[in-house]
Amino acid sequence: MKNRRSAWLVVLLGGTMLIGGLAASPSVAGKKGRSITSSRRLTVLSEGRAPAAHLGSSTAEALPDADLLEDIQRLRCRSEGNPRLAVDISCNTKRLGQDFNPDNEISVAVDPEDPDHLVAGSNDYFYRFRGVDRLVYVPTGFFTSFDGGHHWIDGQIPFNSGNNAGDPSPAFDVKHDVVLMAEIEFTSDAARTETRNGNIAVSRSTDGGRHFKTPVIVMRGRGPDSAEDQVFFDKEYLTVDNHPDSPYYGRAYLMGARFLGGPVYQESPIYFSYSDDGGRTWSSPREISGRHPSCTYQEFGGGTDCDEDQFGIPEVAADGTLYVHYINYQNEAEFEVPFDFDGQVMVRRSDNGGESFTRPVPVAQLEDGFSDMPFSVIGRQTVWGHQLRWTSAGTITTDPTDPEDVTVVFADRGSANPNATEECLAELPAAPDYDPCNAGPGSDTDVYMVRSTDGGESWSGRRSIGGSSSHQWFPWADRGPDGELAVAWDEDNGSGPADTFNHVLWVQGEGKETLYPDAREDRSRSEQIDISATHWAGQYVPEEDWPVICGPEDYRDPPVSDAEGKDCNVFHGDYTGLAVGSDGSINVVWTGLNRFVVTPQLDPYTGKLHDGYAQDAMFSRR
């Protein structure tokens, strides 16, 4: 069975996704960003070494020249708006094409000493088009506000050694008076056919986030995607102990997944490092995934090593206790069918600043396996009715009034797919619905929470937050100064298959609120995920393979009379962001698709420039 599974992956790579032409990444960050491990997900293709697009060819094109790269890194602009509605914090200047280029995977941090001082980050794309073909260059973008989100500075983090970055994770360090931004950084060719040297790096700002210094490499990768011993670090998260009474006050904690093996996945344990000098120097990274009896599936090796993971997230409690969250994919007892690879959320605790950790504790078993969700045209799990790349991952947060009160949020389908069979996993996702296990109809992904009140030793059962019959995904959570829980996520407008979504905010004791874009700025009231200006499905498959389950009914894109599925977005990030200030203000960021634009890309189906809704960095404050 394992061999058949491996053979299926090879066939998928060669037959379904690599269909010739331009190797154009669906992820702007061009990052490694495997959705999960190669055994866990359909493909070992990275977001940098992407599925080849159906259109064009650009493999011989050179990377942007040094002067252009310098211009991009130096670009600064400003935006403003009403945060009680929603502010597009990406400034959308026509300079360097930023009026249509995407921002996604938005994250945010708030200054513990000044709740009006905010820093956010994004995958900040810079496209260049040559007719149909596209080239992409992606630094980490930063956004800084000193007045509670009314006005923003929009800029880019400089590179250390690579030519692409992303996966931003900002944090304030009060003790050392710096702002930190963690990111991945790697090198790729212009066509994104191969990535190499996937590092995790941290940049420092000593002026509150107006400018950032060249990042320090903390976790160093090696080799190209074709190398059997490739090391690629990915999915990093950063936090700082800003509690003056903690024995580790001022210590910054960094986590990432270490993917080993280019063409053949071997493992992806969670690695950990810390800094006590404001991010100048870091401890030697070390593996902290640990062992647990539930980690029985082993891609290589034996025993019960929990080393096939990602989404490692650190959280510091008010007394300095460090909790680490990650998702593991080795609990065979929870696979509904063989090689389903459902995830389990694991939490470990350290009482000594990360020097040692307790044994991993499984806190939630997820329903997110191969058989539980439909797939997109690029072979990634998606939400029924869309093509967006989906993951069940959420985050971890602690109550500032009680360091033993810990909450984890996530989003999955809640119960196993009743239609799943061992045989359906042997089928390739194919047009028109890309759903070999019939997982889409009747599915309903919801946001859930689990809670521990004894420092992570034991956990409650899952509880739905803001229950709805509409699909929900990408939750992020934080607690206010009084312990009040706030969670925000993307939510479909209606039961699946739906065509639009909105970002929503749920606050404990208050309920759920929809965060609408400001219609006075000529924006759609909803996020138009199925009519996308970039990352559109028609770039990756020919017309006969467009995903007809996706897109508005009777959608036309003249002269194409039946364009359902053509413009559905296949990547708008893997997460959203939320941070609560010391005054209780709730700061929310997400990827919006509410502003209609015309891009410089030639759409060969229409013979005109491609248009649709741009991916913007949205912010709202409550």
pLDDT for 416 equals: 96
Q: What mean pLDDT value characterizes the chain? A: 89
Q: From edge to edge, which strands make up the β-sheet containing 608-621?
A: 87-88, 608-621, 586-603, 577-580
Q: How many domains does the chain have?
A: 1
Residues 387-406: tens digit of each pLDDT: 999 999 999 999 999 999 99
pLDDT for 15 equals: 30
Distance (Å, rounded) from C-alpha 256 to C-alpha 182? 10
149 and 587 Cβ atoms separated by less than 8 Å: yes
Q: How many CA atoms lie within 13 A of 158 on its CB side?
A: 14
Q: Is the dihedral of CA 610, 471, 382, 422 positive or negative?
A: negative
pLDDT for 71 equals: 83
Indicate the residue type of 79.
Answer: S
Residues 172-206: tens digit of each pLDDT: 999 999 999 999 999 987 667 789 999 999 999 99
Q: In which band, very low, low, confident or very high, does the pLDDT at 523 lie, cut at 50, 70 and 90?
A: very high
Q: In which band, very low, low, confident or very high, does the pLDDT at 65 lie, cut at 50, 70 and 90?
A: low
- Helical residues (DSSP H) of 135-276, grouped into ranges: none
User: Higher model confidence: residue 51 or residue 597?
Assistant: 597
pLDDT of residue 40 exceeding 50, the answer is no
Q: Which among 219, 190, 224, 217 is positioned nearest to 203, based on CA atoms?
A: 217
pLDDT of residue 479 exceeding 60, the answer is yes
Q: In which band, very low, low, confident or very high, does the pLDDT at 29 lie, cut at 50, 70 and 90?
A: very low
pLDDT for 132 equals: 63
Q: Which among 74, 239, 255 is positioned nearest to 172, based on CA atoms?
A: 239
What residues have CB less than 8 Å from 185, skipping those under 6 apart? 159, 160, 161, 162, 164, 165, 198, 199, 200, 201, 215, 217
pLDDT for 191 equals: 66
What residues have CB less than 8 Å from 50, skipping those under 6 apart? 23, 24, 25, 26, 27, 30, 192, 378
Residue ranges making up the domain that contains 58: 2-621
| Contacts by 90-97, CB closer than 8 A, 24 or more apart | 90/122, 90/124, 90/141, 90/143, 90/154, 90/616, 90/617, 91/152, 91/154, 92/595, 92/614, 92/616, 96/71, 96/72, 96/126, 97/126, 97/127, 97/128, 97/600
DSSP for 326-393 reads EEE---GGG-SSTT----EEEEEEESSTTSS-PPPEEEEE---SGGGS-B-TTS-B--TT--------
pLDDT of residue 128 exceeding 90, the answer is no
CATH number at residue 503: 2.120.10.10
pLDDT for 131 equals: 65
DSSP for 388-409 reads -------EEEEETTEEEEEEEE
Residues 216-273: tens digit of each pLDDT: 999 999 999 999 999 999 999 999 999 999 999 999 999 999 999 989 999 999 999 9
pLDDT of residue 12 exceeding 60, the answer is no
pTM for this one?
Answer: 0.92
Indicate the residue type of 214.
Answer: T
